[in-house]
Structure 1
Amino acid sequence: MNKIVEKVILVGVETEDNYTRFEGSMKELKNLTKTAQGEVVFSLTQKRPRIDRQTVIGKGKVEELIQLVDAYEADIVIFNHELTPRQNQLIVEAVGVKVIDRVQLILDIFAMRARSKEGKLQVELAQLNYLLPRLIGQGKQLSRLGGGIGTRGPGETKLESDRRHIRNKITAIRRELKEVTAHRERSRQKRRSSDVFQIGLIGYTNAGKSTILNLLTTAGTYSEDQLFATLDPLTKKWQLPQGMVVTITDTVGFIQDLPTQLIEAFQSTLEESRSMDLLLHVVDASAEERMQHEQTVVELLNDLDLEQIPVLTVYNKSDQIDEDEFTPTLFPNVLVCAKSTLGKDELTKAVREKMMELLVPYELDIPSDQGQLLSELTRHTLLLSEIFDEDQNVYHVKGFAKNGSRWTNSSQ
């Protein structure tokens, strides 16, 4: 059975505040709509110093929007701005079809993409938090109908029970999330105490993080050319050519104007990134809005207090650009095509060099009868050389290990 594709009209206002990123933001809204399986039939844009307090676009444009909805038989209107409950209501009354904003659209995609129990709970929490004030807004509307006949009875009671139901649900989800978060924290502590070097993948949505995870670990994660293809953090083991095993965690993609409801809801997911030893910031080198994407991620890292974690920028999709004309803006960096084996070698080399800067060098002598210890060193540290000394019957080993690990503590 074919899915019914909704016809969508996009609406955006270019103001004094957003003119530098307006065009990119509208293009992104179109991609988001496509990801949510909608078909954009028209984009209505307008320039004004600031948005209209009542309808965002003003009376004249509302009239134009009504005609467009009619002409294109649109099912839904999506605004590129967060709408207040009042604005939403006024626009719905005027156009007569469903009206949502950018935040609701992103929440909708997140709901489609959530796979794990935690992901689903987080999205539901964000949606309910978004819905609550909008219900209250409608309640105010009902109570403003003049009082007396027609405003008492089930209408208001229904709203009250809806609100109570939503509040109860929010409390229940928060409680459940607390348990899931505690479990995740225990797994994280376990990884932290096991001397394992942890790498996190971060970046703008659709930059190729999942493709890179698949390239390095053969994780087989969902990696499509879509926004927010990955929602649930996924941690996989990656064995470096020298034998060292590290973990790589894929995280949710960042986006311009990421709704605060989502940042709050996904705190525990983003918490994953806090315990990382190195972040790989994946950037789509071919994106027209590349600089804007980089800035968005860097600002979000600061907002989430992650700026102290070392970062290696991975410029991806080198096959889609002219490498000679490419000028990187973030350092240190590496330029790769994650869909090629050569890309894997280049990336591995760059990560290894960065790790050597972050790890502590050690030198040890291991007796020849302690082969188990040698294989542990190979797995848990970046082993550079092992030379067997026949006279002393020991292996001279050199390498790099995590600071505070038993290898660096026992280093000679």
Structure 2
Amino acid sequence: MNNCWLFHPEYNNLSSRSADASLNELRLLAKSINLKILKSVVIKVKKVSPSSYFGNGKVNEIAKDLKIKNPKRCVIIINDRLSPIQQRNLENLWSFKILDRTSLILEIFGSRAVTKEGSLQVELAHITWQKSRLVRTWTHLERQRGGRGFLGGPGELQIELDRRYLTSRIKKINHELRKIKRTRTLHRNKRKREFPLVSLIGYTNAGKSTLFNKLTGSKELAKDMLFATLDPKHRKVTISYKNQFILSDTVGFVSKLPTELIEAFKATLDEIIYSDLILHIRDISHEDYDIQNKDVINIVRNIFNIDNCEMPENYIEVINKVDKVNFLHNSSNNTINKIFISAKTGEGIEDLIKTIITRLK
């Protein structure tokens, strides 16, 4: 197991998301790829340095701390998107590998991909991101040519060769994904001819997979981890002979989800567009409950290409984990567009099923 130090930059309390919640989410992201956390801190940032992100004083302070403690097999993770120059300079100044939030999420998605489509989508996102950062090389390319890894500095000729390789690989992946998308469309059209499609969306770890198992009767254990579901799952739900539908569990969302991932997973996320009903699963027990809602809504609007005043008409909020809060549930709390449930205990599931049936008619 590799070790890590986690740094969450806080901009003079300008963020609507609490620093503690952001740092805790970063811890969960790191743990989800089995990194052992040796240190996690919030760092106040007044102004971002174009060359090193943090100011010289903070960079030198961290450099001294790293030199004294000298953590073995350690990666430094910064909870924001770094420019190639910032990342390279910090790696040189600290002599440790640096991951920013984007590269960490890409690593997690890479570790979760199990199908051919999922693996291709993650690779497409990774190399699209890497191509835009070719002031340094991709570690994989360094290994191919026997280089010295992420601390090595390639010449301009090698950078151009890498860029050509990545461009060629992007074309091949897009060709493969188009073929998979055609097959997916055929399957989706076949399913829709037989049964309506209901899709689960939500912030990662909001309880989508637990609800999916509850509605489908699956005995599969829902994992308590971020991005447990990467490749979409489909199961038929039979309430009665006349009331049947296909339930789809999609990838979870997260704040600052890399645009490269959204673009790469367009074919998968398109499943949401063609749904007859969209259930947005929300974790009412989370301290950033409202902010997570905004993150998901922004991604949904991006997928549907709609403005800030609209949401799809077939959209229902499913407020989950009521068992974790001081919440007295009864049917009067529910509306046609909002249902309160606990996927874990089953509370409110009957009301949710009735709403799904009503909305699908």
Give the TM-score range, shorter chain. 0.7 to 0.9
Query: Given residue 161 of structure 1, which amino acid in structure 2 is its aligned partner?
Result: L
Other-structure match for 2:357:
355
- Alpha carbons 2:334, 2:340 under 8 Å: kept: no
Asked if residue 332 in structure 1 is aligned to residue 337 in structure 2, the reply is: yes
- Alpha carbons 2:196, 2:360 under 8 Å: kept: no
Instruction: Give unmatched runs, 5+ long, in structure 2.
Output: 139-153
Instruction: Give unmatched runs, 5+ long, in structure 1.
Output: 140-153, 360-412
Work out which of the residue numbers 17, 40, 44 in structure 2 matches 1:43: 40
Other-structure match for 1:395:
none
SS of the equivalent of 1:206 reads coil
Q: Deviations over 1:175-230 (max 9, x none)?
A: 10110011101111222333x22110000000111111111113455621100000
Other-structure match for 2:53:
56
Other-structure match for 2:178:
178
Higher RCO structure, 1 or 2 (CA under 8 Å, sep 6+)? 2
Q: RMSD between aligned alpha carbons?
A: 2.5
* Distance in 2, Cα, partners of 1:86 & 1:288: 35
Query: Given residue 39 of structure 2, which amino acid in structure 1 is its aligned partner?
Result: F
* Distance in 2, Cα, partners of 1:165 & 1:135: 12
* Distance in 1, Cα, partners of 2:25 & 2:165: 35
Other-structure match for 1:9:
5
Other-structure match for 1:78:
77
* Distance in 2, Cα, partners of 1:248 & 1:77: 40
Moved more, 223-232 or 283-292: 283-292
Report the CA distance shift for 1:220/1:52 in structure 2 as closer, same or farther (over 3 A).
farther
* Distance in 2, Cα, partners of 1:185 & 1:258: 25
TM-score by length of 2: 0.86
Q: Deviations over 1:284-304 (max 9, x none)?
A: 121111111112112221121
Other-structure match for 1:400:
none
Report the CA distance shift for 1:220/1:132 in structure 2 as closer, same or farther (over 3 A).
farther
TM-score by length of 1: 0.76
Other-structure match for 1:300:
299
Offset at residue 357 of structure 1 (A): 4.2
Moved more, 77-86 or 299-308: 299-308
Asked if residue 166 in structure 1 is aligned to residue 163 in structure 2, the reply is: no
Asked if residue 32 in structure 1 is aligned to residue 34 in structure 2, the reply is: no
- Alpha carbons 1:313, 1:331 under 8 Å: kept: no
- Alpha carbons 1:10, 1:42 under 8 Å: kept: yes
- Alpha carbons 2:128, 2:260 under 8 Å: kept: yes
Other-structure match for 2:149:
none
Query: Given residue 352 of structure 1, which amino acid in structure 2 is its aligned partner?
Result: K
Query: Given residue 213 of structure 1, which amino acid in structure 2 is its aligned partner?
Result: F
- Alpha carbons 2:23, 2:41 under 8 Å: kept: no
- Alpha carbons 2:85, 2:135 under 8 Å: kept: no
The percentage of counterpart residues that share the same residue type is 33
Number of aligned pairs? 336
- Alpha carbons 1:9, 1:69 under 8 Å: kept: no
SS of the equivalent of 2:81 reads coil
Offset at residue 329 of structure 1 (A): 11
- Alpha carbons 2:283, 2:321 under 8 Å: kept: yes
Offset at residue 106 of structure 1 (A): 0.4
Offset at residue 325 of structure 1 (A): 9.7
Other-structure match for 1:380:
none
